[in-house]
């Protein structure tokens, strides 16, 4: 079936690295094959370098960026919890919210307004914001929100558009949970959602009163699969997509962030 070879200049997907496309043609491996597990481990380490983090729980979720968003919310919030959402575009609006501070579309969020909202609602379990809003092209400043590290409120950042394209400093900015997508600046086909959780976020997952409302996105279960010490089967990982992401991350690191 003929398909036109296009130069993609829209908001995503982008044209993948040639190495990422070639990786899709490699021989199929089982999802528990030692060779695949080695590549998965290397992919997670490469993601740590791109996310600029030492977070142990750093992995590609087996679905697109919207699943990364949902994985963060279902693992970090429980019924009745309050979340503060900074929304100034489509993907800020998409975030499930209880409390919200909104800016006009196309205008950057004021980080102080989010910090003030948290001061007014000290029971907030989460502050969530989109780093680069795909729908408008606006970059929201994240670094001032590091002040949340002095509270019990976690900071969640959507880096679907920004990761690999502009600086993203997970540890430096005090980000507790961050997710992205493979199809934009990471230069791989759509299909995976890189995600990283801080020690604070991981503790939140481990001390939940009830399991997350999603078996597939339960990071407690997924973490046992990607852990070198456990390797407990959870789901069949998209092997070829992981190989493709592994190659794309290699190209990024060769170029330099």
pLDDT recorded at residue 101: 54
Q: Is 86 exposed, middle or buried (0-12, 13-18, 19+ CB in 10 A)?
A: buried
pLDDT recorded at residue 17: 96
The pTM (predicted TM-score) of the whole model is 0.91
The predicted model gives 217-237 an average pLDDT of 92
Q: What is the pLDDT of residues 43-54, one digit of tens each?
A: 999 999 999 999
Residue 97: band (very low, low, confident or very high) from pLDDT cuts 50, 70, 90:
very low
Which structure tokens are listed for 190?
């759509």
Q: Which residues pair with 207 in a beta bridge?
A: none
Q: What percent of the chain has pLDDT over 90?
A: 81
> What mean pLDDT value characterizes the chain?
93
Rounded distance, CA 52 to CA 149, Å? 17
Is the pLDDT at 230 greater than 90, yes or no?
no
Pairing of strands 124-130, 138-139: unpaired
Q: Is 249 left (phi over 0), alpha (psi -120 to 50) or beta?
A: alpha
Chain-centroid distance of CA 95 in Å reads 13
The predicted model gives 155-164 an average pLDDT of 97
Is the pLDDT at 168 greater than 60, yes or no?
yes
Q: For the domain covering 35-255, report its CATH number.
A: 3.40.640.10
Angle separating helix axes 199-206 and 219-226, nearest 10 degrees:
120
């Amino acid at each position: 079936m003929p398909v036109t070879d296009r130069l993609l200049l829209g908001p995503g997907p982008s044209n993948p690295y040639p190495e990422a496309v070639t990786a899709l043609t490699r021989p199929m491996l089982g999802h528990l094959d030692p060779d695949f597990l080695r590549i998965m481990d290397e992919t997670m380490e490469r993601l740590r370098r791109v996310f600029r983090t030492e977070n142990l729980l750093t992995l590609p979720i087996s679905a697109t960026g919207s699943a990364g968003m949902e994985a963060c919310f279902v693992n970090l919030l429980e019924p009745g919890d309050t979340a503060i959402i900074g929304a100034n575009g489509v993907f800020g609006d998409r975030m499930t919210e209880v409390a919200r501070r909104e800016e006009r579309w196309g205008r950057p969020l004021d980080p102080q307004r989010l910090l003030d909202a948290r001061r007014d609602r000290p029971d907030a379990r989460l502050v969530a914001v989109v780093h680069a809003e795909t729908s408008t092209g606006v970059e929201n400043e994240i670094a001032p929100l590091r002040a949340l590290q002095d509270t019990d409120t976690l900071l969640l950042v959507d880096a679907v558009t920004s990761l690999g394209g502009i600086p993203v400093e997970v540890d430096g900015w005090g980000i507790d949970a961050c997710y992205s997508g493979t199809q934009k600046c990471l230069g791989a086909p759509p299909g995976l959602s890189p995600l990283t959780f801080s020690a604070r976020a991981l503790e939140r997952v481990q001390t939940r009163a009830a399991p997350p409302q999603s078996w597939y996105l339960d990071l407690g279960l997924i973490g046992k699969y990607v852990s070198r010490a456990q390797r407990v089967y959870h789901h069949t990982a998209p092997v070829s997509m992981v190989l493709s992401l592994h190659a794309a991350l290699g190209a990024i690191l060769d170029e330099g962030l």
